[in-house]
Every structure is written in structure tokens, then in C-alpha cells.
Amino acid sequence: MTASYLPTLSSAPRSFLCPQRTSSLSSATGRRNPVFHPVKPAADCCSTKNPASAWTSARHERWEGDLAVEGQLPAWLKGTYLRNGPGVWEVGSTAMEHLFDGYATLVRVSFRDGRATGAHRQVDSDAYTSAKSHGRAIHREFAHCPTNNPNNNNNLLDRVIDLVGLVTGTSLTVNPNTAVARLSDGRVVCLSETTKSTTLIDPETLGTIGKFTYTDGLSGKSRLLQLLPLQSAHPVVTETEFMTVLPDLNSLVTRRRPGYLVVRMEAGSNERKVVGRVECRGGPTMPGWVHSFAVTENFVVVPEMALRYSAASLVNNSERASFYALDWIPESGSYLHVMCKRTGNTVASVEVPPFVVIHFINAYEEKRHDGQPTAVVVDGCDHNGDPAILDALTLHSLRSLRGKDVLPDARVARFRIPLDGSPYGELESALDPEEHGRAMDMCSINPAYHGKKYRYAYACGARRPCNFPNTIAKIDLVDKTAKSWHENGVVPSEPFFVARPGASDEDDGVVICTVNSDGGGSYTLVLDAEKFQEIARVRFPHSLPCGFHAFWIPDKM
């Protein structure tokens, strides 16, 4: 295969590539201006002096070709590594503010017979295509509020438009920039936190097939007051089903207590069925932010963080909460709820110390001699109970504070939830956070150990000083130690564990991770998971933007 660049962003109008250099484009109607806060221009955006970095928008709409291999790829490594993440933060007159705002960019590396081919491509979501055609972002992203600007009248009409947009799901993002997963029926989806963002893609061409439409009417389409436009960005996908958590926002329009629905969808189906509803404990507020959750053999663990969806921000697109569309309300309490997968009943609900966990790592049951579960252990990447991590991930901080030690501390939080009716759960650090540089996030484990007692987690860690994780860490939860891979100035994405076929040891396999290097290049690393040493790297011919989560699709035998 030879390399092929398909429609490139560099052939797009200049204003699309580099908004900072163009005179401002006003919105078509003039009623709502596009950019709400003065956004600091990206220091390196389009600069000829600075090479592209992890925080530079993708310069090509699409590329595919052969990848140069350094080192020796294992002969058994046959399949496709996919990575999702935000890759375009500037469109027309809009320069996004936050890392989480960027339009989805997919990366593929296929390994076969010791060789590698690669590709990357923008997802053609409605959010991205409409931003291109309007010359500005028109959907609300994590931090980006298209209507939040000083000229917005914030009058009754604005509010009605925002509320209708929320109920019908038209104002919130459909930009699936977070996770990628293959359903057990073979369909591949990428997704983010709105149900409407779920998008079917072709894992070979990375082309966008279309929206994944849920046929159950749970997301507000057929029942006007059923306010379920949001979902966890990380469904749990097994051989037989897809399971996820939907924050129930009905408390915005009814007197119902806030809560969460746990839903499951069988392989081959588009219909989610409700397993059960968990009621929030945290006062008459909104549900806590649920980016991810955890499952064990018998239970679903639903987190209720004190970092809650902001009612005011959701019903008024121009109103910013203390953390974008989220409010930090520590006095509302932090809880973990345990739902039985079979009955949908909440079998435990405990209060725990404040935590800020974007990603749960794994969970498992402690059992009595007769096999009866007595407690649930849940591990998560905890930003020491402080939402400041969200501000550390603004593009301005990432671009301008390189090398400064401003990345907030994080640890592996181990929660223990007794199943005997106790009102409180326990929380401790699973190991000394110094082991992984007092930062850790974007984790994976050997997928065969999901829901089971396990020993190893792989995550991005830190070698200080840094403003973003810059190591890949293997965390041993038994020995309470961590090994790290690091090169100066790197920006890694989620390290993804792939087991060697026939392996019996938990760490018998490789860890695959796509990295941005200091000088502006990008490569995909293959590490021996046991020794945690690099065995090969495959280089892309140009720099890619940073990425988040990955997935592995083995070749058919």
C-alpha cells in the first residue's frame, strides 16, 4: 500500500484552518455570536515556527498508508488497533477552549505478519459537518457553548429555544470524540456523552456509516418529557450485550427525584431495555456526572459524584456552571450505588469521601466461602476529589504551560462497598501515588479480568514536572508498585492491553499506545506487557493530534 492523502484540511479555506489569522466571521443571523469567551489563540496553531503538537488540530481530513516499523512486532499480533479522541479544535470563527471539545479523529493501526498499515480520519458527525458548513461550531460541546456570548439577550425566546434543544437533543453535541467499541454483533461505534453521539463507523476505512439510532424511544424522541439525552461515554460491552448508564434528568421538568437508569441492549439489537433505576441520594439536585461506571459479575456500580450536571447550564445554553456544564457541590455528598444486574434492585448505597473519578478501572466482588458476595471493591482514577483537573485540561493550559508542574495529583482510589447495609463505604489509595508520579488516568486492564479480581492496570502516569500525563505506567495492585515507560516531552493516549492468544498469565501480551513525541511526530508503541519494555514502534509520517481511548479488533482466525 502506498500512502494516500485524501481531502486535506490544508485545502480547506484558510479561515477553517486558522481562525486566529482571519478577521472575525459573524454568524448568519447576528442574534447569537459564535464564540462566547475570549479564547486565547493557540500559540502553535498554524505557526510555521512551531511543529505540530498533540494540541494542534489535524491538518488532514484523512490519510492512510504503510507505517515504518522499528523493532520486531510479535508474529501473533494480528488485528486492528483503533483510537478515538478530539482532533480538530478550530473551525471557521470558532476556536474551542477545552481538550474535550475537539471534533472526533479516529486513528487505526493494523498489524499483520510483522507489518503495519495506518490511517486516520475525521468522523463526519453532524456536529463537525455543520460546523464546517456554518463556519462556526453550532453544537454545545463539553466547554463550548455556542450561544454563550455577551450579545445573547438571554430573553424568554432564547430560553425556550435552549429548553426545546435540550428536550429534543438538538443543541447538545453529536460529536463522538471519546470512546470506540466493537459490539458483539460486529458493529463498531464511537461515542461520547450524548445518546445522539453514538455513531457507526467502518473500522477498515474509518468512514462514518451513520448514526446509531436507538429504537427504544428512551432518549426523549417519542416521549417528550423523558429527559434522557445523556449517557456514560464508556458502555460495558461483553459477548452478549452492551450495558450503559443514563443520567435521568427528569427532575428538571417534574418533581421526580434525580437518578440514573441502567440499561442493556442485546447483541444485534438497537433497543435498550431498562435493568433498573437508582435514585440519587445527594439532595434535591441533579445527578452526578457519569463519564464511566463499573460492573462485577453480578452487579453494576453507579457512581454519584458531587460533581453534578448543572440544571441552570442545561436549560440555558448561555449559562456556564462552575465547571462548564457541571457544578461541584461537595456538601451534596458522594455516593456509590450497587444494582443487581438480574433484578435491577439497588442492593447497596453508601456514602463515601468526595471523589473525582472520570474513569473507573475495574470492580470485583469479595465472596464468602459459600460464594455469597459480601462486598464490592471498585477502583478508579481519582483526581484526589478535586475537579481542578478539568481546568488543567483547557487548551490554553496545555499549550502554554508545557514543562510546568501544574498537573493536579491523582491516585488509584480503591473503594470497598459492604453488602450488609452499612451506610458508609471505605476509600483508600491502592498504592503510593508517587509510584506513578502522582497522576494517573486513561486506564485499561486485561479485558478477560473485567468484573473480576485482577492485579494489573495500565494508565498514563507522570514524570514531574509536567502539565499533562507523560508516562505509560503498569500498576501492580498486589505489590503496590508501578513500572513506567517515558521519553522526554511525550503525550501518550490510553495504553491498551492486548492478550497473546492462549495466554494464561494476566500480563502475557502487549500494551499498545499512540504517543505524540516532543519534536512533533506521532508513533504507536508496542510494549511487552510483562517486562513493560518497548518491543516495536510504528511511525506515522506526520504528527497526529492527541487521543483518548482505544480498542482492539482481532483478525478472524
Ligand X SMILES: CC(/C=C/C=O)=C\C=C\C=O
Ligand Y SMILES: CC(=O)/C=C/C=C(C)/C=C/C1=C(C)CCCC1(C)C
231 belongs to the binding site for ligand Y (CB under 6 A):
no
Residues 6+ apart with CB under 8 A from 155: none
Residue placing its CB nearer to ligand Y in the complex, 399 or 537: 399
Mark 206-243 as b/e (b = at least 16 C-beta within 10 Å): bebeebbebebebbbbeeeebbbbbbbbbbbbeeebbb
Q: Binding to ligand X by residue 378, rule CB under 6 A?
A: no
Find out whether 234 is annotated in a ligand binding site. Answer: yes
The region that residue 532 occupies, defined by phi over 0 for left and psi between -120 and 50 for alpha, beta otherwise, is left
Contact with ligand Y (CB under 6 A) among 309, 364, 523, 540: 309
The reply on whether position 548 binds ligand X by CB under 6 A is yes
| Beta strands, E only, 305-355 | 307-309, 326-328, 334-340, 346-352
Annotated ligand binding at 486? The verdict is no
Partner that binds at residue 128, options ligand Y, ligand X, none, CB closer than 5 to 8 Å by kind: none
Residue numbers 276-295 binding ligand Y by CB under 6 A: 289, 291
Q: Which does 439 bind (CB under 5 to 8 A by kind): ligand Y, ligand X, none?
A: ligand X
Closest CA to 87 of 75, 101, 69, 71: 101
237 binds, among ligand Y, ligand X, none (CB under 5 to 8 A by kind): none
**Distance between CA atoms of residues 187 and 200, nearest Å:** 7
What, of ligand X, ligand Y, none, does residue 192 touch, CB below 5 to 8 Å by kind?
ligand Y
Could you tell me the smallest distance in angstroms from the CB atom of residue 99 to ligand Y? Answer: 8
Unique residue bearing C-alpha cell 502487549: 510
Shortest distance, position 134 Cβ to ligand X, whole Å:
26
Say which entry of ligand Y, ligand X, none residue 56 contacts (CB below 5 to 8 A, set by partner kind).
Answer: none
Q: Which does 173 bind (CB under 5 to 8 A by kind): ligand Y, ligand X, none?
A: ligand Y
Question: Least distance in Å: CB of 393 to ligand X?
Answer: 6
Q: Which does 183 bind (CB under 5 to 8 A by kind): ligand X, ligand Y, none?
A: none
What DSSP state is assigned to residue 146? T
CA distance 152 to 33: 7
- Alpha-carbon torsion 39, 42, 47, 52, what sign? negative
139 in a labelled binding site: no
Q: Choosing among ligand X, ligand Y, none, which partner's interface includes residue 309 (Cβ < 5 to 8 Å by kind)?
A: ligand Y
Cα-based distances in Å from 553 to 28, 493, 550: 44, 18, 10
Compare residues 233 and 336 and give the one whose CB is closer to ligand Y: 233
Residue pair 379/457 in contact (Cβ under 8 Å)? The answer is yes
CB 172 within 8 A of CB 247: no
Rounded Cα distance, 281 and 335, in Å: 7
Please report, for residues 104, 109, 177, 547, 549, the alpha-carbon distance to residue 120 in angstroms, rounded to integers and kept in the order given. 11, 9, 13, 11, 14
- Closer to ligand X by Cβ: residue 265 or 439: 439
Query: Residue with the closest Cβ to ligand X?
Result: 441
| Separation between Cα atoms, residue 76 and residue 176, nearest integer Å | 31
Cβ nearer to ligand X, comparing 307 with 339? 307
> Please, are residues 395 and 468 in contact by the beta-carbon 8 Å criterion?
no
Q: How far from chain centre, in Å, is Cα 142?
A: 11
Structural Rg of the chain based on CA atoms = 22
CA 194 to CA 216: how far, in whole Å?
Answer: 15
Q: From the list 89, 142, 260, 458, which residue makes contact with ligand Y (rule: CB under 6 A)?
A: 142
- Which of 199, 178, 177, 197 shows the shortest CA–CA distance to 188? 199
Residues 373 and 367 sit within 8 Å (Cβ to Cβ): yes
Nearer to ligand X, 346 or 397 (CB): 397
Q: Which of the stretches 26-34, 156-164, 361-369, 434-442 binds ligand X when contact is defined by CB under 6 A?
A: 434-442
* Nearest distance, CB of residue 142 and ligand Y, angstroms: 4
The dihedral formed by the CA atoms of 91, 92, 94 and 95, expressed in degrees to the nearest 10: 60
Binds ligand Y by CB under 6 A, chosen from 120, 140, 196, 537: 140
Nearest residue (CB) to ligand X, 247 versus 469: 469
Residue 441 makes contact with ligand X by CB under 6 A? yes
Minimum Å distance from CB 83 to ligand X?
12
Q: Decide if residue 469 touches ligand X (CB under 6 A).
A: yes
Task: State the minimum distance, in angstroms, from the CB of residue 358 to ligand X.
Answer: 5
Residues numbered 352-381 forming contacts with ligand Y, rule: CB under 6 A: 358
Q: Which amino acid is at 166?
A: L
Residues from 29 through 88 that contact ligand Y (CB under 6 A)? none
What part of residues 159-198 is at the interface with ligand Y (CB under 6 A)?
Answer: 172-173, 178, 192-194
398 near ligand X, judged by CB under 6 A: no
Nearer to ligand Y, 165 or 451 (CB): 165
Binders in 82-111 for ligand Y, by CB under 6 A: 100
C-alpha–C-alpha distance, residues 1 and 68, integer Å: 12
Count of C-beta atoms within a 10 Å radius of residue 546 = 24
3-state secondary structure of 552: strand
Region of 113-121, 136-144, 377-385, 468-476 interacting with ligand Y (CB under 6 A): 136-144
The residue of the chain with the least Cβ separation from ligand Y equals: 325
Write down the least CB distance from residue 78 to ligand Y, Å: 30
C-alpha–C-alpha distance, residues 111 and 82, integer Å: 11
> Cα-flanking dihedrals φ and ψ of residue 119, to 5°?
-160, 155
Q: Are 293 and 361 in contact (CB under 8 A)?
A: no
Residue 32 DSSP one-character state: S
Query: Is 356 one of the binding residues for ligand X (CB under 6 A)?
Result: no
- In the list 109, 307, 329, 389, the residue contacting ligand X (rule: CB under 6 A) is 389
The item of ligand Y, ligand X, none sharing an interface with residue 512, based on CB under 5 to 8 Å by kind, is: none
Q: Residues 123 to 182: which contact ligand X by CB under 6 A?
A: 178
Residue ranges in contact with ligand X by CB under 6 A: 178, 358, 389, 439, 441-442, 469, 548
Q: Which residues participate in the annotated binding site?
A: 234, 291, 359, 549
Residue ranges in contact with ligand Y by CB under 6 A: 100, 140-142, 172-173, 178, 192-194, 230, 233, 289, 291, 309, 325-326, 358, 548
Q: Which residues participate in the annotated binding site for Fe cation?
A: 234, 291, 359, 549
